[in-house]
A and B are shown apart, each in its own frame.
Chain A
Amino acid sequence: MDTRRITSRLSTLLDIYYNIMQSSLRIVPASSGKSATIQDTANSLGLHDTLQYGPRSLAAEIQSEGSLKARLENWDATQDNLKLTLERNIFGMHAPMRRLMERKIVGTTAHSLSAPQTNLHLDILMGRDETIEASDVFLGREGGPAFDVHAEIQKKVRT
């Protein structure tokens, strides 16, 4: 076996594990403390997007909508994390690592034949192969196409 490939696979595994999974038995997302951030309003250059959101202000940056928004956004990830933690407790540390690695492999492998927006293998590994959600109807998006002209143009221009 190629030793370089083995070490790169191992570092991928560890990256996945430490970045994605927290060993936690939380059933619902914890309410995060308030914080200021420009992440929400950043454009592709990484700075606050004045054209779209107006000048920088404390009101725009302080995360006062934390509680419900954070809860809904982190809901699926928290449920998934709970299942992975239960697997870790029962089967050992290798189990969630394998599952996450499989997901990454399947998620990044390019399929030429199937439609790019559907990934059955990833659906199966994520446990959503037997449900129909908004993202299935809207081909990967949660809602309909957003009428965000700036983002559309940027997507086209960005290589």
Chain B
Amino acid sequence: MDHIDWNRLKTGEVNLGTSIMAVQFDGGVVIGADSRTTTGSYIANRVTDKLTHVHDRIYCCRSGSAADTQAVADVVHYQLQMYSQTAGKAPSVHTAAAAFQKLCYDNKDALSAGIIVAGWDEAHGPSVYNIPLGGGLFRQPWAIGGSGSTYVYGYCDATYQEGWGRDETVNFVKNTLALAMSRDGSSGGVIRMCVITEDKVERLFVPGNELPRFWEGHEILGAAEPRKKVASDVVPMVEA
């Protein structure tokens, strides 16, 4: 009577197709994401905010099923509130990442969620933790995730350098996401970024018409070039 095919339900779920990214720099972290949420080929939300607050200086970037990542982020947000009430101070980014990891691993069979946790804490300064599908925990200086990330691993490997400041890191994130969004069908829209430092969290927004542009294939695809003027001594043919 109710033999529900959960796998079928899963594939039809609202999906954060996504390109997400987080990079650590000297004073903090920069996190960024595209803004497209799809249900199959329909774009359910073209201005999604995939950068979710879980604590004052700890944010997570969500990729995978929208419902699953929202549920997990809600539980962690709740847990970190309880933690900070008891401990009397903000939790460390490692604590938040471990909370995400426990949930993702224990619910491994039911979830489809790839999360990047990034933030600043007093004990360790800035840090980025990657929690891919399956629920492993990996600390990295920079992490990319989502379906669009596969297209930009090469660009990131070639471009990233240690010792960058805030502006260079913001540019790195912006360019990487723009490249991912231009190649991945499930990523697009606008770029949302957060710069998390000890003092504050600053939100940055890059609208779709101001995205950095790279090679767009004008030579092959023939953009609208102005028509060449015909020489004046050639008379155009007319029907009699």
Binding site for B on A (CB under 8 A): 24-28, 30-31, 64-65, 67-69, 82, 86-87, 89-91
Contact = CB atoms under 8 A, between A and B. Distances in A.
Main secondary structure of the interface of B (DSSP, over half): helix
Nearest to B85: A90
A24 B82 contact: no
Given A90-B82, A90-B83, A27 B2 contact: no
Given A27-B71, A27-B110, A28-B110, A69 B2 contact: yes
A25 B6 contact: no
A68 B4 contact: yes
A65 B1 contact: yes
Interface stretch (B43-51, B72-80, B126-134): B72-80
Contact of B2 (A24, A65, A91): A65
Given A90-B83, A90-B86, A91-B86, A27 B75 contact: yes
B122 interface: no
A25 B82 contact: no
B8 to A, nearest CB: 13
B227 interface: no
B75 A64 contact: no
A86 B82 contact: yes
A67 B3 contact: yes
Contact of B6 (A31, A65, A87, A91): A31
B110 A25 contact: no
B2 A68 contact: yes
Contacts of A90: 79, 82-83, 86
A147 B71 CA distance: 39
Interface of B: 1-4, 6, 71-72, 75, 78-79, 82-83, 86, 102-103, 106-107, 109-111
18 contacts: A24-B106, A25-B103, A25-B107, A26-B106, A27-B72, A27-B110, A27-B111, A28-B110, A30-B109, A65-B1, A65-B2, A67-B3, A67-B6, A86-B75, A86-B79, A86-B82, A89-B79, A90-B86
A27 B103 contact: yes
Given A82-B75, A90-B83, A90-B86, A30 B2 contact: no
B62 to A, nearest CB: 15
B86 A64 contact: no
Contacts of B103: 25, 27
Nearest to B105: A25
A73 B120 CA distance: 41
B4 A67 contact: yes
A78 to B, nearest CB: 11
Contact of A28 (B4, B78, B102, B107): B107
B3 A25 contact: no
A86 B106 CA distance: 13
Nearest to B71: A27
A85 B14 CA distance: 29
Nearest to A29: B110
Given A27-B75, A67-B6, 9 more contacts: A26-B107, A27-B72, A27-B107, A68-B2, A69-B2, A86-B75, A86-B78, A86-B82, A90-B79
B74 to A, nearest CB: 9
Contacts of B72: 27
Contact of A25 (B1, B83, B102): B102
Contacts of B86: 90-91
B18 to A, nearest CB: 21
Contacts of B106: 24-26
Contacts of A30: 109-110
- Name the 4 nearest CB pairs between A and B, nearest first: A25-B106, A68-B2, A86-B79, A27-B107
Contacts of B78: 86
A113 B102 CA distance: 46
